[in-house]
């Protein structure tokens, strides 16, 4: 994964987890007059994406977010794979992007691909 822009990441998400992409589309279109692709309110778009990814992670008992941080000019997020409460994870997936939502989305895509 080299392109960390929101449209590119959403395209990858559609490939690896169409169900979560459907949820993002559902929530974005459920807001009256809101379209995720054309609405200029980037914060609302990021909130929808981040919320849907966090729910998808929570639905997987072996994936969960540990942390999110800013490193120089990019946001990074880490998803840890392993049973809850287990202190030594089996895998850690780190994603980065221009926004917190992009970072979580990139890490989630990496984690899902690793399971396939």
Query: What integer pLDDT is reported at residue 86 of this predicted model?
Result: 60
> Could you give the percent of the chain with pLDDT greater than 70?
79
pLDDT tens digits, 4-31:
788 899 999 999 999 999 998 888 776 6
Hunting for tokens 């200029």 — which residue is that? Answer: 40
Tokens matching residue 114: 């690793």
Question: If you average pLDDT over residues 32-54, what whole number do you get?
Answer: 72
Domains delineated in the chain = 6-115 (3.30.160)
Alpha-carbon distances of 89 from 62, 71, 106, rounded to whole Å: 10, 22, 19
pLDDT digits (tens, 9 = 90+) for 50-106: 899 988 988 887 767 777 888 888 899 988 877 666 666 677 788 998 888 999 999
* The dihedral sign for the CA sequence 9, 15, 16, 22: positive
Task: Specify the pTM.
Answer: 0.81
């Amino acid at each position: 994964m080299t392109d960390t822009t929101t449209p590119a990441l959403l395209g990858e998400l559609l490939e690896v987890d169409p169900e979560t992409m459907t949820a993002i589309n559902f929530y974005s279109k459920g807001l009256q007059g809101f379209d995720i692709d054309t609405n200029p309110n980037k914060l609302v778009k990021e909130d929808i994406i981040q919320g849907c990814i966090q729910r998808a992670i929570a639905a997987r008992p072996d994936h969960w977010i540990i942390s999110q941080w800013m490193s120089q000019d990019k946001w990074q997020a880490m998803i840890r794979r392993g049973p809850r409460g287990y202190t030594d994870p089996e895998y850690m997936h780190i994603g980065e992007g221009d926004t917190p939502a992009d970072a979580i989305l990139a890490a989630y895509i990496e984690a899902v691909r690793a399971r396939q």
